[in-house]
Each structure stands twice: as C-alpha cells, then as structure tokens.
Structure 1
Amino acid sequence: MKVGAHVSISGSRVSSDDETPPYDDIRNAVHRQLAFGGNCGQVFTTSPQVWAQPEISEEAAEGFKEETDDELEGPWVIHSAYLVNLCTPKEDLRRKSTESMQAELDAAERLGIPYVNVHLGAHTGAGVEGGLDNAAGVIDDLEVPEDVTILIESDAGSGTKLGGKFAHLAGIIDRTETDIGICIDTAHTLVAGNDLTTPAAVDETIGRFDDEVGLEYLEYIHLNDSKHDVGTHKDEHALIGEGYIGEDGMRAIVNHPDLRNLPFALETPTEDGRGFAWNIEKVKELRED
C-alpha cells in the first residue's frame, strides 16, 4: 500500500551522524516520512504563504533522490503555493501564478518528483467558463518537464473557487493541450456534495467521477476525513475515521478496486496527541488484504 503524509522539509537536517551540521534540507522529508511510517507523500518546496522560489542545492537534490529510491515505495508530489490562482482574470496574479508553477515544475524535475499538485483557484467574477479558460491558458503557457505531470486537485467548492464539481475537472482536461492528471481530496469531495460515507456511496461517487472525468486521469488521492458533512463546502480535515466520512467510508475508499493501488497522502490534523503516525497506522488497519 502506498500511503504517507504531507511532511515538512524545514528545520535541522536529521541524521544519524552526529557530526552533520544542522540546516534546512529537502532530505528531511524522507526521514520524517519514514518516522511516520509512510512510504510516499507530499511536500512544499517553499513557504506556501508567500511568493518564493525553491532553494535546493545540487547536493540536497541528489541526496533526496537517492534516499527516496533507497527508502520509499511510492511517489512524492509537490503541493504548489496557496497563492497560486490559475483561474484569475487579473494579469499580475496570473503572471505570479505562472512563475510560481514553473519554478515548482523545474524543482520537481531536479528532485525526480513526478507530480506537482495545484488547485484551480477562484474565478473572482470571470465565471466558470472564463475561469476554466484562464486556467487552461496558464497551464499551456508552462514548460512541463517530460517526467512531471500537473495534478489538478478537487476543491471544497466555496465561493467562486472551481474544482468542487467533477464537471470543472473534466472542463480543464478538455480545454488544455497539456497532459494533466487529477488529485482527489476525499474531504473536499465530501463537502463539495459527493457522499463517501458508505461502501455504496463510495461506489456511486467513483462511478460518477469515471463517467464525468475518467478514472484514467486519477493519479493521486489526498486521504482526509472531514469535520463537516456532505455539501457544506467547509474545508476542515479530521482524523482518519473520526469525521463525517467515518471508518466505513474510509475503509471503502482504501479498499476500492479502482483506488487501492493509487498513492494516498494524508493532510490530517494533530489532535489529542494523534498525528500523522497514528493516522497512517489507522489507514493500514482499515486496509484489507
């Protein structure tokens, strides 16, 4: 099973060698993933709250690739900065979003990471069709490395944000000339109006996704429970099995024949002393042979 967490690269470089000086390093992600019991996962290459370029030395990039190949099973994914808005009609924000995405794609190529995950963003008055056209334009302006794929993440669908409906995901695939994939966030999918609380509901939702988008585009899953119910459009993650999706829904998701072989990355909270290690172990307990 490919399951892991969104881990930080910040802080002192963790090493078994006491003589190694402390420094911030992308290689910290590998150690932290292993410490949580994960074998794949997600990272930010920079602070997601500011416009910043990834700063990764050649030594760190090569070390990250080697340690990943030696220690982990599944693929990493880079999550783009929160400020990126592919749908925006504003030229300055479009330019900054394009530059940020290009930097992440270039970093992914250097690190041997096959995916860069991004939200469509908000159309802010351009309308659904206009927003999707804007997003496709940004994607097609990017120079996507041969071994890297852009993943569009499903959204909770509040306000003018796009990605909450499967039709939005299908719409961006239809508009762009670039080969892209989809990352489904289970919490976002639930609160956007798609039931995932029972095996029958999971089957129905996956069937609709296949009909409207196509399972061949689904590359990664953000596995999160939700603190809010179906259709509320409130994005707040819960511990695995302890939110509105619950154990029955989560068990159905991680064992579904169309999903079980995909990589799962958790973005779950830390509550009551239970963090990523607890959540990953919970997922493994729900998995059936």
Structure 2
Amino acid sequence: MNPNVGAHVSIAGGVDNAIDNQLEVGGTCGQIFTHSPQVWQDPNIGTEEAELFRTGTADRLDGPWVIHTSYLVNLCTPKADLREKSRESMQRELEAAAALDIPFVNVHLGAHTGAGVEAGLENAASLLDELDVPDGVQILIESDAGSGTKLGGQFEHLATVLESADQPLDVCLDTAHTFAAGYDLSTAAAVDETIAEFDDVVGLDHLRCIHLNDSKHDHGTNKDEHAHIGEGYIGEAGMKRIVTHPDLRDLPFVLETPTEDGRSYAWNIDRVREFRRE
C-alpha cells in the first residue's frame, strides 16, 4: 500500500489553494497554518473558500488535513495574559477546523519559563480543558525537541497532559523533534525500541499523525532543524523503518522538510514512497 504522505503547504490567496499546492508536490494529506504563525491573528476564512476547500479535499485528496497553531501559543505559561491569548487563539483554530472539516488541530505544549515542569504541565492540561472542542475535531499535542524550558520532549510529558486533562487528547509525533530530544531513530532496531517505549508510556492508540522530518543534528542535542528525508542524522535506515513500521505505516505522514539544494517537498514525498517500495 502506498503511504498517505503530504506536506505543510501555503494557503496564500485562499485556503482552497492549499489543495492545488498539495497536489503539485504529490501529496495526499497535509497541514496548513490558517494565518502567519508569527503573529496573534484570527483565521480569516470566507464561507465560499471554506466550501471550496471542503469539496476540493473530498473530491481530490485522501486527507486528512491538520491545522498547526501559531508558534506564539504557549499552553504551559504561568503568565495570565499569555495564557488567555493562547486559549483564544486555540479556540479560533478549533472553530476554523470545524468550518473546513479538518479533523486535527496540532499544538506544541510550549515552555514553562521557570514555573517548573510539573506546574507547566498542569497549566497546559487546565488550559486545554477550558476549550470548547467542536464535534469531529481532535487536538493533537506535538512532541518537542525539548530545548530550554520547553516541554513535550519527553514521552512522560505527553502522557501527563493526556492523563491530567479531562479533554480527550491525542499526539502528533515529530521524528526530528523526538530524535533531538534524545530518542534514537537512526536504525531499525532503534526505531522499534523508541516506538515500543512510546507505546508503553503514552500508548499507540493516542498516536494519530507523524510529522516526518530528518534531523540536521544528532539525537539528544535538543536542536530543532529539519533535513531532507534520509539525508540527516536519522538517515535512510531509520526513515525506512519509520515509514514501514507496522504500527506507523497506516498513519498520515506530514512533511516539514526544507527547500534547499534544489530539492523541496516533491523530492521528499517521492523518497518516502521509494522507501515504502524497497
């Protein structure tokens, strides 16, 4: 079976343009920002373009789509004003997902900025419980590279939030982040061991999406810099096992690989399909 693989694509000119952008690189699923991730801004999606997006996706792609929240969102913050901005931003993204028939909204836990790990995770769980999640939409907590006071690098962080929140939550595992956080993925055996640990700590039933990225830095460095598939420190052996692992192979793979060296998403998507054929 061919992998369900796609990329994070632009919605410039209208969210419905994401469909053509995805097809252009050969993707069958994908991810979008509803606005610039560097600013506080509500999604501005018109009724007509939302309808074009919904019908175009149903007719032309396998799906699913994922909305990635703003980089400014910080669920773990102890600061009341940032917490409220993060909550409001998350709520608007959830409403946009419902309007677009997008099943997943992906978010990083953020940083505790000195409050401590336990307090930061408690802040995240309680904020998520304040959200009104529309029917048909699921929040995904993304694994993190774990630099500084950022949380989500350890599987235990993800498990704690999922267990503490009353809100049903699932996980998006980013391969580059997981590797940078210290979980080896560079060999078939290492992938098997890491996925077994994830299952033991978090549970594979909570894993709904993979951000498939190689890493420009070795595991345990906490450096978040993505590389082309099979061209980084995870390498070919690790990437082949990830996309063929029996517990992962049927999940949607969403690429956030770089555009450099004359290669972009299309090259990386072809590489994933090549690894599945071998």
Task: Report the TM-score, using the length of structure 2 for normalisation.
Answer: 0.98
**Aligned ranges for residues 1-289 of structure 1 at < 5 Å?**
1-10=3-12, 24-288=13-277
Cα distance in 1, alignment partners of residues 142 and 125 from structure 2: 14
Kindly state the Cα deviation for residue 74 of structure 1 after the two structures are TM-superposed: 2.2
Equivalent residue of 1:4, what SS? Answer: strand
Q: Percent identity?
A: 66
Cα distance in 2, alignment partners of residues 215 and 74 from structure 1: 20
Kindly state the Cα deviation for residue 288 of structure 1 after the two structures are TM-superposed: 3.4
Equivalent residue of 1:287, what SS? Answer: helix
Cα distance in 2, alignment partners of residues 223 and 50 from structure 1: 25
Cα distance in 2, alignment partners of residues 74 and 8 from structure 1: 16
Amino acid at match of 2:17: N
Cα distance in 2, alignment partners of residues 287 and 78 from structure 1: 26
Kindly state the Cα deviation for residue 189 of structure 1 after the two structures are TM-superposed: 0.4
Task: Report the TM-score, using the length of structure 1 for normalisation.
Answer: 0.95
1:60-97 CA-to-partner distances (Å, cap 9, x unmatched) read: 00110000000001200000000000000000000000
Amino acid at match of 2:265: F
Gaps of 5+ in 1: 11-23
Amino acid at match of 2:224: D
Gaps of 5+ in 2: none
Let me know the Cα RMSD of the aligned residues.
0.7
Amino acid at match of 2:8: H
Q: Which runs of 4+ in 1 moved over 6 A?
A: none
Kindly state the Cα deviation for residue 146 of structure 1 after the two structures are TM-superposed: 1.2
Equivalent residue of 1:78, what SS? Answer: strand
